[in-house]
């Protein structure tokens, strides 16, 4: 459905490259008697979280890492979760600790994230690691923003001197993304739900990062001709009329919907990409998503 001039950035292929590099590192460590280990903690029964954790565990096993998943009930308290994290902090065979978000409402997420040993915080969410990134002394960088930087660099999309607009200011994506782009010598503007004149600001971006979690919110009016558009959003369409609305000529997408009952879409309206004349675009799925897991494993190693 995209015009030929739009270069679709293949996150699956880039993630494969990174995994091959990680595999070589792991083999070298195993020869030295070192086996990297990742512990994932899943609280409750969120279906999407279960899929993410299973995928991360599978990737660890494929690359030769030790992995384990700790499943806790939806009624788990903050103190009970912190107790498990403290145990994992002390274990020498666990190098990385992943607390799958979101957590049930009764759990204080900020306290939990701060309980993870900063030297095992492979998600890069601990205040100490965000602070070190701000000071250009990165230890662990949040996986999704780190993946976006790999896509840009490995796709030969210049960053230095460019105007980058990041829409979203979360600690998971927006804040670390803006810091990484700044350190790469881009001029960065952060936008959010309270930003006035969003379309005018976004449409001035050479690199546009959409990470606000709103289905197909970014339209042609937000996109500069020739821009690189990075869609971080993951949203689900579960109505046939919506699939036809956003993907009117995409038979494969419609077939997927008929088979699964839903399809994924990002924060960018795919119809606006060709209309605006964007040069590069990360599709959903198959764009940023695969990089998130690859960078998690890279941080663990």
Enumerate the active-site residues. Answer: 56, 100, 123
- Short-list 85, 39, 96, CA closest to 298: 96
Which residues is 237 bridged to in the sheet?
Answer: 263
Residue 144 phi, psi (nearest 5): -65, -50
* Residue 52 to residue 131: CA distance in whole angstroms: 27
Burial 99-109 (b: 16+ CB within 10 A, else e): bbeebbeebbb
DSSP assignment string, 234-295: -EEE--HHHHHHH-TT-HHHHHHHHHHS-EEE-SB-HHHHHHHT-SEE--TTTSSHHHHHHH
Given strand 66-72, what is the order of strands in its sheet?
Answer: 66-72, 37-43, 96-99
- Residue 72, SS3? strand
Dihedral angle sign, alpha carbons of residues 70, 172, 218, 192 = positive
């Amino acid at each position: 459905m995209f015009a030929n001039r739009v270069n679709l950035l293949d996150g699956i292929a880039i993630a494969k490259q990174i995994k091959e590099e990680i595999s070589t590192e792991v083999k070298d460590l195993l020869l030295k008697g070192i086996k990297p280990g990742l512990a994932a903690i899943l609280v409750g029964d969120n279906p999407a979280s279960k899929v993410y954790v299973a995928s991360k565990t599978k990737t660890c096993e494929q690359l030769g890492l030790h992995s384990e998943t700790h499943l806790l009930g939806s009624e788990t308290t903050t103190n009970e979760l912190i107790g498990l994290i403290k145990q994992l902090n002390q274990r020498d065979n666990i190098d990385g600790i992943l607390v799958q978000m979101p957590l049930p409402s009764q759990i204080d997420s900020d306290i939990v994230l701060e309980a993870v040993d900063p030297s095992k915080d492979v998600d890069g969410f601990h205040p100490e690691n965000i602070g070190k990134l701000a000071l250009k002394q990165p230890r662990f960088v949040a996986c999704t923003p780190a993946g976006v930087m790999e896509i840009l660099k490995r796709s030969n999309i210049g960053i230095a001197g460019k105007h980058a607009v990041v829409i979203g200011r979360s600690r998971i994506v927006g804040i670390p993304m803006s810091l990484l782009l700044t350190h790469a010598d881009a001029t960065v503007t952060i936008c959010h739900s309270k930003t006035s004149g969003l379309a005018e600001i976004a449409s001035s971006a050479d690199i546009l990062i959409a990470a606000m979690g709103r289905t197909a919110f970014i339209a042609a009016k937000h996109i500069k001709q020739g821009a690189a558009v990075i869609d971080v959003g993951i949203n689900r369409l579960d109505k046939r009329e919506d699939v036809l609305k956003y993907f009117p000529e995409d038979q494969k997408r419609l077939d997927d919907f008929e088979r699964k009952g839903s399809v994924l879409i990002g924060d960018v309206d795919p119809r606006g990409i060709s209309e605006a004349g964007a040069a590069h675009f990360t599709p959903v799925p198959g764009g940023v998503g695969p990089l998130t897991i690859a960078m998690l494993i890279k941080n663990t190693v």
